[in-house]
Amino acid sequence: MKEPVIEMRNITKRFGDVTANENVNLSLYPGEIHALLGENGAGKSTLMNVLTGIYKPNSGEIYYQGKKVSIKSPKQAVDMGIGMVHQHFRLIPPLSVAENVFLYMPNCSTVLRQKEMEDAITACSKEFHLDVDASAKVWQLSVGEQQRVEIVKLLYRGAEILILDEPSAVLTAQEAVEMFKVLRRMADSGKSVIIISHKMNEVMQNADRITVLKNGRVEDTMEAKDATVQRLTKAVVGEREFVPQIRDSHNYSEETVLYVEDLSVKNDKGLNAVNHVSFSVHAGEIFGIAGVAGNGQKELTEAVAGLRRAENGKITVKGEDLTKLSIRKHIDKGVSFIPEDRLSMGLVPGLDLSENMILKHFGWEKFSRKGILKKKAIDEITKDYIQKYEIKTAGVHSPVGLMSGGNQQKLLIAREINGSPSLLVASYPVRGLDIGATEAIHKILLEESEKGTAILLVSEELDELFQMADRIGVMCDGNMMAVLNREDADYDTIGRLMSGEKL
Amino acid sequence: MRKLRLEKKSTSSGLSILLNSLLFVALALVFCGFIIGAVGFNPLEVYGKMFSKAFLSSRGIRKAIESGLPLMLCGLGVSVAFRMNLNNIGAEGQYAVGAIFGAAFALYGPKLPGILGILALAVCCFTGGALWALLSAAPKAFWDVDESITTLMLNYIALILLSYLCLGPWKAKGQNVGQTEKIAENLALPEISGLKISTAFPVVIVIALLLFGFYKYTASGYQINVIGKSLTAAKYAGINIKKNIILVLALSGGLAGLAGFVQYAGITGRVQENMPNNAGYTGIVIAYLSRFNPLVVIIVSILFAGLQNSSATVQVMGVPAQIATMMQGAIMIIVIAGDFFQRYKIVSDKKGGRAS
Ligand SMILES: Nc1ncnc2c1ncn2[C@@H]1O[C@H](COP(=O)(O)OP(=O)(O)OP(=O)(O)O)[C@@H](O)[C@H]1O
Ligand SMILES: [Mg+2]
């Protein structure tokens, strides 16, 4: 067998009392795609941050091509050929693709020649069949395209080892397939790839080897061909049985909670994003919205939550016309919103868990009296949530920005659900969650709907919608193509509607 | 070889912030020491003189507290706004307008008995500063006009208005300098008997404590915090941004206006042509150095005031008075640069990971 390019030996990394990695061993061979799996907070991101020089391990060694090295900074890692695409991209929106790539070149000439830069990048991306337009501005690109820019950035700087933190979480199914083709091509050319993922099927199909982390330790490591869903599930969450939550009967009431009529909404660029959409969601109903991301779902949900102005049409909640009313009015009327952008909208990373818990409800009697916050009570309630939803954190007073991605999501959902909403708008609520947490969230959503909450569930995963929704509306290009009962819907029909074909 | 490098820190305790700041103040003093040396004096001697004059005698401490009072209020006012990411550069002007309103009350207002008169005077000064800040707050809230520019511009207008009044219609008879008549006996703030410190000092401490509690324990303070940390999240949470801009800038300006009150009723007894004397700008520096913590503002203000006072004393040695201004600048720049080390820690590669 070949020599590993990277060997991490006995890596331990602690943050105060939290041990994020403990005696982790990981080897990476040239030409392989290696997948890292594990629960939220298992230490995957931390391990990769150690490898790319962002964190220094408390103990342990890293060997690069058999030689012991100490990686002191991301820059040094890049010079050694190790590059990482973070879950939150680090591109500068007003600059062009070429400018973004060259921004990181240490020794390019002072005078930048636009044409030369673009040609160089086009050549580099051609090599791996990465489809990017070097002259486009980054803000114009879709998430999938931005990710390709991040990859080009690394390739152009000569990366031999690419690390991608949950790369498929934000991609459409089609984009994910494309991305894995690119990654495979890179592996075939002798480079090595590490991907972090929560999606077992995707990992089994695309990776060569799989390592599962649990509580900071390596739980299992295997060849992808030896992997089964059972074995992976067991390694990720332990012996617990997982029965997918399936909604058996749908007996939602006649009462209409959300009524959207002829709604049109513009996006940030001022273009029509939602065109004359009408639908209604009843008490106790889960109404799924299917569609490739970027077809108006974001604008639709934001309009329903009161965050975006309706250009046309009407939004009614429990009989009250909320179209022109403030966000506060929406919240008071019982509209909860799990936005897709949790870190910049749903949570304040610089504040602690308790403070984030009361973000919308600090005025409630149980949280404050006559404008004075009940600190003790708030902490107690936050602790309850932490326990109930199994949120991993260093404590109610540690900043939310330091929590792992999945745990941030759980906190956000806990808050939104505990407002006893009459309408819950949930955008991709399980994005970035491990299977255990996904099941837990699905269970919570089902319980909520049993209680009579109307739920608007936006998802790209058809499986999730078939499992959860009573009715499914399909969006394409800002239009509601059709609304189907779950019994009448199948993958094929929905897939065709999603791509714009009429019924 | 032992190499040093930077690593992002997860948390920093209050104590480590304090120690860090002290370290960088010391560094700033060393830096200034070189310049004092270059001008031809012995820095140790100069520092020794300054320190003993300003902080080792009860008179020095009293003076430092006294001249620190307006700085404290300006610092507190600026902090309130900065906490919400509102750049109120206008404490200077708000201070001036506060003083103008105070003088107007003393000159034309009704004669109220006892403590009532003093309270009314304070309310007038607060209102003056608050109104002046509202001139910037309203355009900011409704048309998103940059408040740093408007507050700054309004300073010039306020200062010119102040000197016009002090040199013109309100000028005390038989005086050469631009200042108003002495304040009526019943409007002046008394001294704490025995200590020879104005009662304004405990009042300011109470204000700082109230602000501390306001930030920490009230829903309004919480909202300011959220807006300051993430505007998007604040909007998402349905927090009324416009209302908070108006309220916070008014409070900020009002506190700066109170600087006019303590100076007028507590120290000078007259409103003077150049009364703010840069306290509004120094307040910005103090707010930054205190990291917007109201209790720290009190301490830093006293230190800054002592520094300014002591520079006068070393003038006798021939040291230029501008030395104090330079030291203030140096301390600010170096401490703020040092803020970096608050967020990152220096780790040595030798210990810990044996990876070398
Ligand atoms: N800078 C930090 N300071 C303190 N604790 C941290 C820091 N970074 C991570 N942690 C903690 O370390 C643990 C592991 O976090 P990490 O981000 O590596 O998890 P993860 O496996 O990537 O999870 P997810 O799938 O949710 O992204 C978590 O408990 C997290 O709260
Ligand atoms: Mg992670």
Whether residues B238 and A328 touch (CB distance < 8 A) is answered with yes
| CB spacing of A402 vs B226 below 8 angstroms | no
Pairing of strands A192-196, A33-38: parallel
Q: How many CB atoms lie within 10 A of CB B273?
A: 18
Coil, strand or helix at A171: coil
Number of domains comprising chain B = 1
Q: In whole angstroms, give the CA distance from residue B35 to residue B198.
A: 36
List, as ranges, residues with CB under 5 A of the ion ligand 2.
A 45, 405
- What's residue B340's pLDDT? 67
**Cα distance between residue A86 and residue A147, in whole Å:** 10
**A235's tokens:** 């390694």
Number of the ligand closest to the Cα of A20: 1
Please report, rounded to a whole number, the percentage of residues in chain B having pLDDT higher than 90. 58
Q: What is the 3-state secondary structure (H, E, C) of A276-333?
A: EEEEEEECCCEEEEECCCCCCHHHHHHHHHCCCCEEEEEEEECCEECCCCCHHHHHHC
According to the 3-state scheme, what is the secondary structure of A238-256? CCCCCCCCCCCCCCCCCCE
Using CB distances shorter than 6 Å, the residues near ligand 1 are: A 15, 18, 20, 38, 40-46, 392, 402-407; B 10
pLDDT at res. B1: 42
Give the residue from A388, A420, A452 where a domain finishes: A420
Q: What backbone torsions phi and psi does residue B179 show, to the nearest 5 degrees? A: -155, 160
Report if residue B40 sits inside a domain: no
- Do residues A400 and A279 both lie within one domain? no
Q: Report how far residue A11's alpha carbon sits from residue A312's, in angstroms, rounded to the nearest whole number.
A: 57
A383 and A489 share one domain: no
| d(CA B347, ligand 1 centre) in Å | 21
Q: Which atom of ligand 1 is nearest to the CA of A409?
A: 26
- Note the pLDDT of residue A20: 93
Distance CA A484, CA A288 (A): 10
Model pLDDT, residue B2: 47
Rounded distance between C-alpha atoms, residue A394 and residue A400, angstroms: 10
Query: Are A427 and A412 in the same domain?
Result: no
Q: Please report residues of A whose CB lies closer than 8 A to that of B225.
A: 351, 355
Distance CA B191, CA B200 (A): 8
DSSP 8-state secondary structure symbol assigned to residue A206: H
Q: What is the pLDDT of residue B353?
A: 36
Backbone angles phi, psi at A300, to 5 degrees: -65, -50
Residues B285-339: pLDDT tens digits? Answer: 899 888 899 999 999 999 989 888 887 777 777 888 787 778 878 887 887 777 6
Residues of A with CB below 8 A from B236's CB?
A: 307, 327, 337, 339, 345-346, 359
For A273, the enclosing helix (H) or strand (E) is: strand A272-282
In this structure, the answer to whether residues A394 and A496 fall within a common structural domain is no
Cβ contacts of A375 on chain B, cutoff 8 Å: 217
Query: Cβ separation of A72 and B10 shorter than 8 Å?
Result: no
Distance CA A355, CA B222 (A): 8
Determine the structural domain holding residue B256 and report its residue range: 66-315
B interface mutation test: which of A13, A63, A67, A72 has the most B CBs within 10 A? A72
Is the residue at A341 inside a domain?
Answer: no
Query: Which residue range(s) make up the domain with A30?
Result: 6-237
**Chain B interface residues (partner A, CB cutoff 8 A):** 3, 5, 7-8, 10-11, 217-220, 222-223, 225-226, 229-230, 232-233, 235-238, 240, 347, 349, 352-356
Q: Considering every ligand atom, which ligand is closest to the CA of A409?
A: 1
In three-state secondary structure terms, A68 is strand
Query: Phi and psi (nearest 5°) for A482?
Result: -170, 160
Which of A389, A420, A451 is the last residue before a domain boundary? A420
* pLDDT confidence of residue B350: 42
Are A157 and A85 in the same domain? yes
- In the reported structure, the alpha carbon of residue A71 is separated from the centroid of ligand 2 by a whole-number distance in angstroms of 20
* Cβ–Cβ gap B217/A327 under 8 Å: no
Which residues of A are less than 8 Å from B220 in CB distance?
371
The reply to whether A160 and A174 lie within a common domain is: yes
Q: Is the pLDDT of residue B233 over 60?
A: yes
Q: Are A464 and A429 in contact (CB under 8 A)?
A: no
Distance from CA of A248 to the nearest CA of B (A): 34
Residue A42 lies in a domain: yes
Does the predicted interface ipTM exceed a cut of 0.90?
A: no
Please judge whether A348 and B220 are an interchain contact, meaning their C-beta atoms are less than 8 angstroms apart.
no
Can you tell me whether residue B235 is helix, strand or coil? helix
For the entire predicted model, the pTM comes to 0.84
Beta carbons of A472 and A479 less than 8 angstroms apart: no
Amino acid in position A242: F
Whole-angstrom distance, CA of residue A177 vs CA of residue A1: 29
Beta carbons of B204 and B262 less than 8 angstroms apart:
yes
Cβ pair B102, B264 in contact under 8 A: yes
Q: Which of B92, B94, B89, B98 is nearest to B151 (CA)?
A: B89
Higher pLDDT, residue B115 or B13: B115
Q: Which of residues 339-398 of A touch B (CB under 8 A)?
A: 339, 344-351, 355, 358-360, 362-363, 368, 371-373, 375, 398
Question: Does A364 map to a domain?
Answer: yes
What contacts A491, CB < 8 A, 6 or more positions away? A462
- B230·A349 Cβ contact <8 A: yes
Contact A372 B236 (CB under 8 A): no
Q: Give domain status of residue A68, yes or no.
A: yes
Out of A395, A420, A445, pick the residue that ends a domain.
A420
> Which residue in chain A has the smallest CA separation from B225?
A351
Longest dimension (CA), chain A: 71
CATH code of the domain covering residue B174 = 1.10.3470
State both tokens at A365.
Answer: 């009697």
Query: Is the pLDDT higher at B154 or at B196?
Result: B154
Distance from the B66 Cα atom to the nearest Cα atom in chain A, whole angstroms:
33
Following DSSP, what letter does each residue of B42-82 receive, concatenated? -HHHHHHHHHHHHHSSHHHHHHHHHHHHHHHHHHHHHHHHH
> What average pLDDT does chain A have?
89
Is a pLDDT exceeding 90 seen at residue B71?
A: yes
Interface touch A350/B229, C-beta < 8 Å: yes
- Of residues A358 and B348, which shows the higher confidence score? A358
* Same domain as A127, residue A53: yes
pLDDT at position A500: 86
Pair A264, A166 in one domain:
no
List all residues of chain A from 291 to 320 with a beta carbon under 8 Å from chain B: 306-307
Q: Which atom of ligand 1 is nearest to the CA of A47?
A: 18
Q: What's the domain count of chain A? A: 3
| Chain B positions in Cβ-Cβ contact with residue A348 (cut-off 8 Å) | 226, 229-230, 233
pLDDT recorded at residue B102: 96
- Please indicate, yes or no, whether residues A155 and A187 belong to a single structural domain of this protein: yes
Domain match, A203 and A174 both: yes
Contact A35, A207 (CB under 8 A): yes
In a domain, B206, yes or no: yes
B230 and A344 within 8 Å at the Cβ level: the answer is yes
Give the nearest partner residue to A371 out of B11, B219, B235, using CB atoms: B219
> Which residues make Cβ contacts (< 8 Å) with residue B116, sequence separation at least 6?
none
CA torsion through residues A287, A293, A297, A298, sign: positive
On chain A, the residues whose CB falls within 8 A of the CB of B347 are: 56
Residue numbers in B near A306 (CB within 8 A): 238
Residue B204 confidence class, pLDDT cut points 50, 70, 90:
very high
Instruction: Inspect the interface and report whether the beta carbons of B236 and A56 lie closer than 8 Å.
Output: no
The rounded Å distance from CA A164 to ligand 2 centre is 11
Output the tens digit of pLDDT for each of chain A's 503 residues: 578 999 999 999 998 888 999 999 999 999 999 999 998 889 999 999 999 999 999 999 999 998 999 998 888 898 899 999 987 777 888 888 888 888 766 555 656 677 777 888 888 888 878 878 888 888 877 777 888 888 888 888 888 999 999 888 877 777 888 889 989 998 999 999 999 999 888 999 999 999 999 999 999 999 999 998 889 988 888 776 666 667 766 677 889 999 999 999 998 878 899 999 999 999 999 999 998 888 899 999 999 999 999 999 999 999 999 999 999 999 999 999 999 888 889 999 999 999 999 999 998 989 999 999 999 999 999 999 999 988 988 889 999 988 888 889 899 999 999 878 999 999 999 988 888 888 888 988 998 899 999 999 999 888 899 999 999 999 999 999 999 998 888 888 998 998 888 87
Same domain flag for A381 and A433: no
Q: State which of A45, A86, A438 you would mutate to test the pocket of ligand 1, scoring each by most atoms of that ligand within 8 A of its C-beta.
A: A45
- A406 with A477, same domain: the answer is no
Residue of A nearest to B352 (CA): A58
How much is the pLDDT for B355? 35
CA-CA distance, A257 to A320, in Å (whole number)?
A: 10
**Out of A16, A59, A307, closest to residue B236 by CB:** A307
List the single range of A205-209, B26-30, B91-95 with lowest mean pLDDT: B26-30
Residue B18 domain-assigned (yes or no): no
Nearest to A344 among B3, B232, B349 (CB): B232
* Six-digit token string for B307: 């520094």
CATH number at residue A121: 3.40.50.300
User: What is the interface size between A and B, counted as CB pairs within 8 Å?
Assistant: 101
